[in-house]
Amino acid sequence: MDWRVNPAAAIKSVKRVRVLFTLIVVVFAVFIIRLFYLQVIDYGHYHDVAMIDQLKKYTIPAQRGLIEANQGGNIVPIVLNQTVYTVYADPVYISQPNKIAETLAKIIGGNPSDYMGDLTAKGTRYSVITKRLTQDKEQQLMAYKYPGIGAQPESARIYPNGDSAAQLLGFVDADGQGEYGVEQALNQQLAGTPGRVKAVTDINGVPLPANSNNISIQPKAGDNVVLTIDMAMQKNLEQIVKQGDISGKAQGVSALILDANTGAVKAMANYPTYNPAEYFNVSNPDVFQNGTVSHDIEPGSIMKTLTTAAALNQGVIQPTTVFDDPGQWIVDNFTIKDVLPSAGPQSIADILNLSLNTGATWMLMQMGGGQLDQKGRDIWHNYMANDFMLGQKTGIDQGYESPGFVPSPDSNSAGINLTYANTSFGQGVTATPLQMAAALASVLNGGTYYKPRLVSQIISPTGNVIENNGPKVEKANVVKPSVGQGLAGLMQYVMENRAEPVNFDQTNYMVGGKTGTAQIAKPNGGGYYTNEFNASFIGFVGGAKPQYVIIVYAYDPNTSDYAAGYAGELVAQPIFVNLAHMLINNGYVAPKS
Amino acid sequence: MTYSSSVAVGRQRYAVRNHNSVSFKASAKALGPVSNTIILIVLACLLGLLYLSQVTKTNAYGYQINNLQQQQASLENEHSSLQVASARLQSLDRVQSSAPAQKMVAVTPSGTVQ
């Protein structure tokens, strides 16, 4: 074997190696330059493109707070949350529409033909089959694993008591905003704070934790709200209001029961009403309004209770004073008279019992020193606006509360004395049922105006009490305590002298009241309708002292069945009487002995 | 040049012809640039591998977290459903229509004169 190396061949071989090496270096250099371009120079572009797919941003909705109320001595939830599902179809992937339609009909209800349209729809990839499907039904449906059928979860408010307390609760719209009632007034507390997730995810959307830019903020659930409402009382109130509305043929009825000694609203209801779980099916949005706080109307003769209280407190009349009724007053060229001729001596009790407009005007005159004048108007205005808090919102936790209206005592072109004479018997001034009830309560409890309240506690999701809303004195010494006792006696007299028997045991309980019938003002001015009235009744029930104030407004009842001017007695009074009996018979009122 | 050849060269410096050396002193030899480069590359690879293993491990926890969160959401849903069921059972309409309530009889109210 020749071990000698051929120099020429060796040199050639070295050249080949060098060429190959150069080639490899060039190829690698191309790769490196390209990679440098992609990863360094064009980094921003590719980073952004990658992030579009990989970086996910979610908003995690916060669980809305519960609304609770008293029931049988316990606090029970009356508005809760539950996950419900919107079931949809992507018709492109639906291969067995008949079979799926049968399954849908079996689980959701209805006929298979009801679903065929959605399952075979053309030109859409998202066809909603049903909304608000419960979790158990959603699980039954999803167990079939039909291609093209999906379910999207969402949180919905659940009302275990159906339409009970609908208007005071309000509802939550599709955007998660509270509308009307407590839901609107306390939306901020109930809604909580949504959470936020920003994370790089895998192809299935699962966040990958090993990323320093990930953000994860957990949602903060809303606070729970405990109402002062007694659900059993509420339910009874609703039944009686509904019955009264139907029998009185009214356009609607609002009524509430207020604790006279704390300002706590125990029940408030309106009829007609609606089911808040199906608010989207309501055609007339007027039913969303809680009339007890939003309907400010001329209250009519129930105002005479406050006029009497003011006059008693001023010391210009006594419960035993006798009023020599002239039968009519001419004020600013208008005649103020009563439904029935009333000329002759009348007691203060009969001014209320017979509901004498002339008597109420006379009491206003007494506050002015014997005539309708600026002094009397100023004093009466001060009582209405600053003591009885009319003409301003009470601040109760309800959406769309109305402030009502109290006319200025200063001169106006319409005849200020006539305007103020009208206010003494509840015309020319507007007030909501809640305002009137709170004002009367301030007299009957001895002179303390308690801020009306509907919320007793606000509790955090972890169970800590955030707010404890006890009785809050808005104004003390509204009237002297003796005025409250005097007015209570006068109102008891009225109750005992009704034309229709009311059957209260006044030896063990005290029940007093006052009717009201107010002409309805024409919407664009020009006076009042002559044959359209609102009926009202305000009263109290108690044992040793007035415990609950009850007020009823019946809107525009059909007066063709009876004489105009008696709507209060014939439509609103029976509702009050039934409510007072209900409170006594169910043990809400402790007897005197 | 390998490590062994570098030692051989050192040994040759003392191996004089016909002179049997019984001992020699090898000079102190630092690692060459190639060795250092290779060692650095290997270390970088090891660090990279360690980083990747940790990132993968951490991301694997993401799936565990995701599963636990789904479990939590499912339990919360179940809790809400039970709460709703409980509230429905306590609702006045249901109590009113319950069998015991149906058997109750009205009594004459004692508090009012009817």
Fold of the CATH domain A60-208:
Penicillin-binding protein 2a (Domain 2) (3.90.1310)
Per-residue model confidence (pLDDT) at position A93: 93
- Answer yes or no: do B93 and A210 touch at CB < 8 A: no
Min Cα distance A205 → chain B (Å) is 10
Per-residue model confidence (pLDDT) at position B114: 40
Per-residue model confidence (pLDDT) at position B7: 52
Q: How far apart are CA A301 and CA A360, in angstroms?
A: 9
Structure tokens at A583: 């409170």
Per-residue model confidence (pLDDT) at position A102: 95
pTM attached to this predicted model: 0.84
> What are the chain B neighbours of A587 within 8 Å (beta carbons)?
111
Q: How far apart are CA A515 and CA A287, in angstroms?
A: 25
- Answer yes or no: do B77 and A83 touch at CB < 8 A: yes
**C-alpha gyration radius of chain A:** 37
Counting as low any pLDDT under 70, the low residues of chain A are 1-5, 413-414, 561-564
- Answer yes or no: do A135 and B93 touch at CB < 8 A: no
For A159-301, list the strands marked E by DSSP: 171-172, 178-179, 195-200, 215-217, 224-230, 252-259, 265-271
The answer to whether B94 and B101 are in contact (CB under 8 A) is no
- Report the DSSP beta bridge partners of residue A58: A197
The minimal CB distance from A135 to the residues B81, B83, B111 is found for B81
What's the CATH number for A229-585? 3.40.710.10
Structure tokens at A381: 């205005």
Q: How many CA atoms lie within 13 A of A244 on its CB side?
A: 33
Q: If 0-12 CB within 10 Å is exposed, 13-18 middle and 19+ buried, where does residue A308 land? A: buried
Looking at this protein, which amino acid is placed at residue A290? Answer: N
Q: At A571, which helix (H) or strand (E)?
A: none
pLDDT digits (tens, 9 = 90+) for A55-111: 888 888 899 999 999 998 899 999 999 999 999 999 999 999 999 999 999 999 999
Q: How far apart are CA B109 and CA B18, in angstroms?
A: 139
Average pLDDT, chain B: 78
Burial code of A93-130, b = ≥16 C-beta within 10 A, e = fewer?
A: ebeebeebbebbeebbeeebeebeebbebeeeeebebb
The answer to whether A208 and A202 are in contact (CB under 8 A) is yes
Looking at this protein, which amino acid is placed at residue B77? Answer: N
Helix, strand counts (H, E) of chain A? 19, 23
- Answer yes or no: do B58 and A232 touch at CB < 8 A: no
Looking at this protein, which amino acid is placed at residue B7? Answer: V
Task: Assess A218–B contact: CB distance below 8 Å, yes or no.
Answer: no
Surface of A (569-588) touching B: CB under 8 A: 580-581, 584-585, 587
State CA A377 to chain mean position distance: 35
- Please give the interface size between A and B, counted as residue pairs whose CB atoms are below 8 Å apart: 82
**C-alpha separations of A558 from A243, A355, A498 in Å:** 15, 21, 21
SS3 A389: coil
Q: If 0-12 CB within 10 Å is exposed, 13-18 middle and 19+ buried, where does residue B72 land? A: exposed
Domain ranges within chain A, ordered by starting residue? 60-208, 229-585
Q: How far apart are CA A152 and CA A9, in angstroms?
A: 77
Q: Give the residue, B97 or A317, on which the prediction is more confident.
A: A317
Per-residue model confidence (pLDDT) at position B6: 54
Average pLDDT, chain A: 92
* Angle formed by the axes of helices A357-367 and A416-424, nearest 10°: 120
> What are the chain A neighbours of B50 within 8 Å (beta carbons)?
none
Q: CA-nearest residue of chain A to B54?
A: A210
Q: How far apart are CA A145 and CA A95, in angstroms?
A: 12
Per-residue model confidence (pLDDT) at position A337: 86
Of A372, A308, A285, A307, nearest in space to A336 by CA: A372
Percent of chain B scored above 90 by pLDDT? 26
Q: How far apart are CA A53 and CA A49, in angstroms?
A: 7
